[in-house]
Chains A and B, each alone.
Chain A
Amino acid sequence: MRFDQRHLLGIEPLRPDEITTLLDLSEKYVTLNRQRDKRAGTLSGLTQINMFFENSTRTQASFELAGKRMGADVMNMSMQASSIKKGETLIDTAMTLNAMHPDLLVVRHPHSGAVDLLAQKVNCAVINAGDGRHEHPTQALLDALTIRRAKGRLHRLSIAICGDIAHSRVARSNIMLLGKMENRIRLVGPATLMPAGIAEFGCEVFEDMNEGLKDVDVVMMLRLQKERMDGGFIPSEREYFHRYGLDAQKLSRAKADAIVMHPGPMNRGVEIDGTLADDINRSVIQEQVEMGVAVRMAVMDLLARNLRARPKEVLV
């Protein structure tokens, strides 16, 4: 069991065995989280700062809860409201926070690569909570854990990722992770929402959803990223729902025991039918949220172990 990362900036640098290590440890935290007393002292004495340069409710709450249950001192900073408005650069903000000696820095930023940039300038462990359209590693890990628990394995599954692939960091991290674990990945969506060169990632691309969902084990829906669209990717939401929204009829093409996933927040009636999302026999959307806390606890646990194993660096 090894985990050799200093930061968690993406799924791309992880080895398959590191992913398995993370998921195995997450299982323990799932058990812990279901107990009345949910405390673990793993991060006791450490400081965790959540820096969100972009709106987030569930991811931020999930990280905050994970940190608090493990005994870290957690501070939330909503960066839209603060110094960025006063013209401070990302690196200056990072250096300022770094001087306060945090141990874990959880960062979300609207620009791809911004978290990598920040990680180069600080001494603590940095966790990417989503950067632009690049990666959202903890989401992919919690999806993987959910799939593994529902299907009993995380390899040789047929998984359809549907919707706005082009603007989705969740899709990129999932493609990366599920590919590393040797699954068959299908991407389903209109050509305008498919990023260039995606076929070279070893995925099968489908423009017809009925075909794309045929005999899959997992249907992963993505949110239509309205805020990231600079206009004109789809003719209208109702046409989108008709062709690419998940409903019972389209789902019937998948395997009878196929599960339905969604990273949230959902646009009911745009990419997923509301009744289907609430169907406890098919939808694992609530379980995904639960796994999120456990996975984030496991990530911070492993990073903190590596942090403690390293000699304390002098500030430069």
Chain B
Amino acid sequence: MTDLLITNARLVDPEGDCVRPGALLVRNGVITEVFDTPSPDISLDLVPSQHRRDAGNRFVAPGIVDIGVKVCEPGERHKESFGSAGMAAAAGGVTTIVTRPDTLPAIDTPEVLEFIRRRANEAAPVKVLPMAALTKGRQGREMTEIGFLMDAGAVAFTDCDHVVSDTRVLSRAMSYARSLGALVISHPQDPGLSRGGAVTSGKFATLRGLPGVTPMAERMGLDRDIALVEMTGVRYHADQITTSRALPALERAKNNGFDVTAGTSMHHLTLNELDVSDYRTFFKVKPPLRSEEDRQAVIAAVNAGLIDVICSMHTPQDEESKRLPYEEAASGAVGLETLMPVMLRLYHSGDLTLPGLFRAMSLNPSRRLGLDSGRLARGAPGDLVLFDADKPMILDRFKLNSKSKNTPFDGARLQGRVLETFVDGLSVYRSL
């Protein structure tokens, strides 16, 4: 908790949907004043010079809230720890990470969750909010102790990419979660159709001889989930919507007034199936990369507010699990540190505005989780990112802070760089 004064900034305000020149004052970790003048007159007694930053007319935005980050503790700490994930987050302008429970063992008891919270507080420089499994061991058979887990600090419940195939189990878990007001996050995929798929079915899959999964599996998964939402009234979030075919179902659910939101990943917004090229396993993610038409449709859905949240789907994998034939290789890519520069591609290409981008990366995820952050307003926490949207760089995966270096953007030319990240007004990362 500390004081901070940022002057000469261009403030990216997702609430007001604008970018305007101004300054910010943070006291005791909370934003206390937003100025319309670039250099307000604040005495040095109030904020000493070491707590002052001149942004030099660069951007200040609310820190990113990344839903669905995998930190491999417990179980696979060699892939990612709270320390390394926290550093990566800070370097990427992510001030809150919302962790996934698909660890070894799964985070499905208050005791394991307690361990996570303790480790996170010790090791990570950013805020960490854990999610817990919806069913024990993510096996889809019995619901977890949702109440105890909420008391212990779980912000949402998800079985991640293990789809609960038994609809009776899922409907009970959802009903119970509804009675406690818990948020359920689901991976909309029909389990039968998507079994064994490594890429999206179509010409490319056939050309490469890889087992494909039809995009229809996503729509069927979403349709099923929405029917259960209608039945139970649970608060529901689809982790990743990546195909155009699923969008009408999502739109209908929202128009019907169900408490439904949806996310998508940075990879599905910026890459397509052809990027897999000659079996490049760093491009293997779950669900698989889609066609260019789907990518365009998903961008349009983010712009229209139909898709609420953009996340990194940060999934660390070691080199060994990726240096395998494509079908056998592990899925997932790291993204905490690259989320912002990669998403700025869509800003530079004119597909998304800066306020629109931070609405999907900061404001909407905060709101969905009932957090105060994601805003540049009085009373919001001093979770901020100061960045240069134009600075060019060539990404070198070995310079990432994550223990795992499995990014599909190695060698990519990106524009935009985090200069400094603040959590509760305290600087947690400063670029050299």
A interface residues with partner B (beta carbon < 8 Å): 12, 89-91, 109, 111-114, 116-117, 131-135, 169, 172, 195-198, 200-201, 230
Would A196 and B210 count as touching, CB distance under 8 A?
no
Say how far A13's CB is from chain B's closest CB, in angstroms: 10
**Known contacts A112-B208, A113-B209, A172-B209; 9 further A-B pairs (Cβ under 8 A):** A90-B325, A111-B325, A111-B326, A111-B327, A112-B327, A116-B279, A132-B210, A134-B210, A195-B212
Q: Pick out which of these stretches binds chain A: B196-204, B296-304, B391-399.
A: B196-204
Q: How far is the CB of B216 from chain A (nearest CB, A)?
A: 11
Chain A residue at minimum C-beta to C-beta distance from B202: A197
B201 touches A113 (CB 8 A): no
Please list 23 pairs of residues, one from A and one from B, whose beta carbons are closer than 8 Å in the complex, sorted by A's number: A89-B320, A111-B325, A111-B328, A112-B208, A113-B208, A113-B209, A114-B325, A116-B278, A131-B209, A133-B210, A134-B208, A134-B209, A135-B209, A169-B209, A172-B206, A196-B212, A196-B214, A197-B201, A197-B203, A197-B204, A200-B203, A201-B207, A230-B196
Whether the Cβ atoms of A196 and B279 lie closer than 8 Å is: no
Is B205 part of the contact surface with A, judged by Cβ < 8 Å?
yes
Chain B residues whose C-beta falls within 8 Å of the C-beta of A169 in the assembled complex: 209
Residue of A nearest to B200 (CB): A196
The closest CB in chain B to the CB of A135 belongs to: B209
CB-based nearest A residue for B320: A89
Q: Is B104 an interface residue (CB 8 A)?
A: no
CA–CA, A298 to B328, complex, Å? 33
Taking a contact as CB atoms under 8 Å apart, the answer to whether A196 and B202 are in contact is yes
Q: Is the pair B210, A112 in contact by a Cβ cutoff of 8 Å? A: yes
Within 8 Å CB of B1, what residues of A?
Answer: none
CB-nearest residue of chain B to A109: B325
A113 touches B278 (CB 8 A): yes
**Interface residue B180 (Cβ < 8 Å from any Cβ of A):** no
Contact (Cβ within 8 A) B327 A196: no
Of listed B196, B201, B325, residue having the most chain A CB within 10 A: B325
**A90–B281 CA distance with the chains assembled, in angstroms:** 14
Expressed in whole angstroms, the Cα–Cα distance for A196 and B202 within the complex equals 5
Among all A-B residue pairs, the 6 with the closest Cβ atoms: A134-B209, A113-B279, A197-B203, A111-B325, A133-B209, A112-B209
Q: Return the chain A residue nearest B323 by Cβ.
A: A91
Task: Say whether B324 faces chain A, with CB atoms less than 8 Å apart.
Answer: yes
Which of B196, B279, B320 lies in contact with A117, CB distance below 8 A?
Answer: B279
Q: Given A89-B320, A112-B279, A113-B278, A197–B326 Cβ distance below 8 Å?
A: no
Contacts of B202 in A (CB 8 A): 196-197
Residue-wise interface mask of B (314-330) relative to A, using a CB-CB cutoff of 8 A (1 in contact, 0 not): 00000010011111100
B210 to chain A: which residues have CB within 8 Å? Answer: 112-113, 132-134
Which B208-227 residues sit within 8 Å CB-CB of chain A? 208-212, 214
Interface contact B326-A112, CB-CB below 8 Å: yes
Contacts of B327 in A (CB 8 A): 111-113, 132
Contact mask for chain B residues 175-213; partner A; CB cutoff 8 A; 1 contact, 0 none? 000000000000000000000100001111111111110
Q: Decide: A117 near B208, CB < 8 A? Known: A197-B202, A230-B196.
A: no
B88: shortest Cβ distance to chain A, in Å? 27
Cα(A12)–Cα(B279), bound, Å = 14
Contacts of B326 in A (CB 8 A): 111-113
> Taking each of A112, A117, A133, A201, which has the highest tally of chain B beta carbons within 10 Å of its own beta carbon?
A112
CA of A267 to CA of B206, assembled, Å = 25
Candidates A113, A172, A198; contact of B325 at CB < 8 Å: A113
Q: How far is the CA of A172 from the CA of B327 in the complex (A)?
A: 18
Contacting residues, chain A, for B203 (C-beta < 8 A): 196-198, 200-201
Q: Are B206 and A117 in contact (CB under 8 A)?
A: no
B213 → chain A closest CB, angstroms: 10
What are the residues of chain B within 8 A of A116 when measuring CB–CB? Answer: 278-279
A131 nearest CB neighbor, chain B only: B209
Q: How far is A229 from B212 in the complex, measured between Cα atoms in Å? A: 14
Q: Is the CB of B206 within 8 A of A195?
A: yes
Instruction: Please tell me if the beta carbons of A196 and B201 are within 8 angstroms of each other in the complex.
Output: yes
Nearest Cβ in chain A — how far from B328, in angstroms?
6
A300→B144 CA distance, assembly (Å): 61
Q: How far is the CA of A116 from the CA of B323 in the complex (A)?
A: 12
A90 touches B206 (CB 8 A): no
CA of A71 to CA of B75 in the docked complex: distance in angstroms?
54
Query: Who on chain B is nearest to A200 by CB?
Result: B203
In the bound assembly, the distance between CA atoms of A112 and B327 in angstroms comes to: 8
Contact indicator A89/B324 (Cβ below 8 Å): yes
Cβ contacts under 8 Å, A230 to chain B? 196
Output the least CB separation between B65 and chain A (Å). Answer: 37
Complex Cα gap A113–B205 (Å): 12
Interchain CB contact (< 8 A) of B206 among A12, A131, A197? A197
Q: List, in ascending order, chain B residues with CB within 8 A of A90's CB.
A: 324-325
